[in-house]
Structure 1
Amino acid sequence: MNPTVARLTLRGLLGRRRGALLLVAPALLLIVSAIAGRSNGDAHGLTVKILGQLDLGTLTPILGLVIGTGVIATEIDDGSIVYLLAKPLPRWKIVTTKLAVAIGTTWVFAAVPTLLAGLLLYGTRDGVALGYTVAVLVAGAAYSALFLLLGVVTRHAVVAGLAYALVWESLIGNFVQGARTLSVQQWGRAVAEAVAGDAAVGADVSLGAAVPLLLVVTVGASVLASVKLAGLTLAAEE
C-alpha cells in the first residue's frame, strides 16, 4: 500500500460532492431505524427486514458502487490517471491501495451505520446487529473490489454498476431462486445468519459456499483490475 496514493485517493473521493452524497444512505438508514424502533410491532422481524433488504440489499451495494468507482473511474475519465501511471509504482500496488481506501470508506459509511441502526432497532439481543454488521463488512469489501474493477474496464462504470446493484442484487437476487447463489447480498446474509445464529435472516447460500465465493470475488476482481490497469498503461504508451 502506498501512503501517497492512499491520501490523494481519499482526498479525491471525499473532497467533491461525492463526499456529501455518501452521507445520504447512512442518514436514510438511521432515520428509518429510529422511526421503526419506536413502533410496537415485531421488533425482530422489522430489524431483519430493514437491515437485510434496505441496508444489505440496497444501500450497501449503492455505497460500494459510488465509492468503488469513485476511487479510480474519475481519474481514468479525466485523464489524470496518466500522472499516477507515470510513477515507478507496480500497477498491483496502485490497485490494492485504491481498494484499501474503497473498502475502508465503505466500512465507515455502511458498516458503522448498520451497527447503530441495529442497536436502535433491536439492541444487542440475539446478536442480530452484530451479525448484519459483519455481513456488511464482508459484502462491502466484495462490492468495492467489483466496482473498482468496473471503473477500470469501462467508461460507463456507474451505469453498469447501478444496473448490477439495482437489477441483479436488489431485484433478481431477492426474488429469483437460482440467481441467489451468485449474489453478494446472499453471501452476506449467510455470514449474518452464522454470526447471529438466526435462521430468520433467510440466507439461501451456505456459509461454506459464501466465504470462499466472497474471497474469490474480492481477490479475483483485484487481480483482474491490476491486469487491466497494466494494459491501460501499455495502450497509453503506444
Structure 2
Amino acid sequence: MNPTIAMITFRAMLGRRRALLLLALPLVLLVLAAVLRYTGNDDLDISADVLQKFGLATLLPLLALIAGTGVIGPEIDDGQIMYVLTKPIPRQVVVLTKLAVAIVLVTAFAVVPTLLAGLILTGTTAQMTPAFTVGVLVGGVTYSAVFVALAVASRNAVTIGLLYALVWESLLGNFAPGAKSASIQQWALSVTDALTSASPVKSSVDLPVAIPLLVAVALAGTFLAVHRLRSLAVASAD
C-alpha cells in the first residue's frame, strides 16, 4: 500500500460531490431506524427487513459502487492515472491501495451505519446487529474488489455496476433462483444468517458455498484490476 496514493485518493473522494451521496445514504438508514424505534415499529421482523433490504441490499452495493469506481475511474477517464503509472510503483500496489481506500470508505459509510441502525432498532437481540455488521463488511470487501475491477476495465463501470446490483441482484433475484444464488448480496446474507438466530434472516446460499465464492470473487476482481491496469500502461505507451 502506498500512503501518498491513499492520501490523494481519500482527498479526492471526500472532496467531490460523491461525498454527499456517501453521507446521504447512511443518514437515511439511521433516520429510518430512529423513526421506527420512536414509533414502536421496531420488532425483530421489521428490523431484519430494514437491515437486509435497505442496509445490505441497497445501501451497501450503492456505496460500494460509488467508492469502488470513484477511487480510480475518474483518474483513468481524465488521464491522470498516467502520472501514477510513470512512477516506479508496481501496478499491484496501485490497485491494492485504491481497493484499500474503497474498503475503508465502505466501512465508514455502510458498515458503521448498519451497526448503529441495528443498535437503535434491536440492540443485540438474537445477535442480529453484529451479524448484519459482519455480513455488510464481507460483502463490502467483495463488492469493492468487483467495482474497482470494473472501473479499470470499462468506462461504463457505473452503468454496469448498477445493472448488476439493481437489476441482477434485486429484480431478477426475486424471480430467478439462479440469479439469486450468483449474488454477492446472498453470499453476504449467508454469513449474516450463520451468525444470528433471528428467524427472519434467511439466505438461499449455504455458508460453505458462500464463503469460498466471496473470497474467489474478491481475489478475481483484484487480479483483473491489476492485469487491466498493466495493459492500460502498455496501450498508452503505444
What TM-score comes out, normalization by structure 2 length? Answer: 0.97
1:204 equivalenced with 2:175 (yes/no) = no
From the superposition, tell whether residues 117 and 42 of structure 1 become closer, same or farther in structure 2 (CA, over 3 Å). closer
State the match for 2:126 in structure 1.
Answer: 126
Please report how far the alpha carbon of residue 42 of structure 1 lies from its aligned counterpart in structure 2 after TM superposition.
6.2
CA distance in 1, matches of 2:140, 2:124: 22
CA distance in 1 between counterparts of 2:102 and 2:22 reads 12
Q: Mark the CA change 1:55 to 1:174 in structure 2 (over 3 Å): closer, same or farther.
A: farther
1:52/1:174 CA distance change after superposition, 3 Å: farther
Q: Deviations over 1:112-143 (max 9, x none)?
A: 00000001111111110110000000000111
Counterpart contact for 2:181–2:204, Cα < 8 Å: yes
Give the equivalent residue in structure 1 for 2:150: 150
Equivalence for 1:180: 180
Cα deviation per residue 1:146-172 (whole Å; 9 max; x = unaligned)?
Answer: 110110011111111111111112222
- 1:84-118 deviations in whole A, cap 9, x for unaligned? 11111111110011001101110110000000000
> What SS class does the counterpart of residue 23 from structure 1 fall into?
helix
Report the counterpart of residue 104 of structure 2 in structure 1.
104
Unpaired segments ≥5 residues, structure 1: none
Matched residue, 2:170: 170
Matched with 1:75 is 75
1:141 corresponds in structure 2 to 141
Which residue identity is paired with 1:83? Y
Question: Residues 216-235 of structure 1: matches in 2 within 5 Å?
Answer: 216-235=216-235
Return the alpha-carbon distance in structure 1 between the equivalents of residues 83 and 40 of structure 2. 57
Q: CA deviation at 1:200?
A: 2.2
Matched residue type, 1:147: F
**Partners of 1:91 and 1:229 within 8 A in 2:** yes
How many angstroms apart in 1 are the aligned matches of 2:176 and 2:47? 23
The aligned counterpart of 2:95 is 95
8 Å Cα contact 2:103/2:140 also seen in 1: yes
Root-mean-square deviation (Å): 1.1
Letter in 1 for 2:225: A
Partner Cα distance (2:172, 2:105) in 1? 27
Deviation at 1:59, TM superposition (A): 1.1
- In structure 2, the gaps of 5 or more residues are none
Report sequence identity in percent: 48
Asked whether the 8 Å contact 2:188–2:210 carries over to 1, the reply is: yes
Q: Return the offset for 1:12.
A: 1.0
Aligned to 2:13: 13
Matched, 1:59 2:59: yes
